[in-house]
Amino acid sequence: MDRSEIAIFPLSNVVLFPRVQTPLHIFEPRYRQMTEQAIESNRMIGMVVVLPDHLHELAGNPPVYPIGCAGRLAQAQRLPDGRFNLVLAGIARFRILSEPPRPPEQLHRIAEVEFLSDPYPDDERERVVELRGAIIGNLSVLVGHADPSGAAGFTTEAFGEMDDATFVNSLAAALALHPQEKQGLLDANSIPERFERLEGLVSFRVAELQSHGSTGSGRIH
């Protein structure tokens, strides 16, 4: 695995996935510094999620999940007051190996990481076709509950031009799942495993909806 040192950006509710773009608004001085340094160097930032029991420590250096996703700045707009509007394009998952000491003038965190692949074995592709169909079918049910007119758009054909990795990562990012559920999807060690986990989450939402009717949490937007 390739190793590198990258800036890490801990948040409570944003999970970046490979092949997915995420907008960010940067206002804290330490993350302005992080953004400026990224623009001047490799344009890379590592997104990580803070552990749930430490959300109250966001202003400091809270513990984070060991698996994150590196993104490259696709857009960076510097505002007159020093804030930034960014679009970060996910490129690869990573595992944090350590956080080396940093000098006082460096306000943001740096981590030594190893980049992780998302393998997709050929013998798993038939199973992924089944899972992909099941996910689309369940999403059609959930969309139909929230907006009956929109359910017709959730067909296998509608996503036919999207490759499997982009499909599962895009849905993992877009669906209204709990941050810890999204982290679990990011943690998956392969594309088929991510499909398995996403199918389980979506099918649970459908079962919950069918059990509780309108009180279920069938939201996906």
Residue 153 reports pLDDT greater than 80: no
Q: Structural domain boundaries of the chain?
A: 3-116, 122-215
Nearest to 168 by CA among 199, 127, 189: 199
Task: Using pLDDT thresholds of 50, 70 and 90, give the confidence band for residue 56.
Answer: confident
pLDDT winner (highest mean) among 44-48, 103-107, 211-215: 44-48
Domain covering 3-116 in this structure, CATH number? 2.30.130.40
Q: Which of 4-8, 158-162, 165-169 has the lowest mean pLDDT?
A: 158-162
Instruction: Tell me the pTM.
Output: 0.89
Give 7's contacts (C-beta < 8 A, 6+ positions apart).
34, 37, 38, 44, 45, 46, 108, 109, 110
pLDDT winner (highest mean) among 37-46, 57-66, 203-212: 37-46
Residue 103 Cα distances to 26, 34, 41, 109, angstroms: 22, 14, 18, 10
Average pLDDT, rounded, for the chain? 90
Residue 218 reports pLDDT greater than 50: no
- Taking the C-alpha atoms of 118, 138, 51 and 39 in order, what is their torsion angle to the nearest 10 degrees? 50
Taken as a whole, the chain contains a residue count of: 221
Residue 196, class by beta-carbon neighbours within 10 Å (0-12 exposed, 13-18 middle, 19+ buried)? middle
- % of the chain beyond a pLDDT of 70: 89
DSSP string covering 7-40, please?
EEEEESS----TT-EEEEEE-SHHHHHHHHHHHH
Q: Which of 66-80, 81-95, 153-167, 175-189 has the lowest mean pLDDT?
A: 153-167
Q: What angle do CA 147, 152, 156 make, to 5 degrees?
A: 130
Per-residue model confidence (pLDDT) at position 156: 56
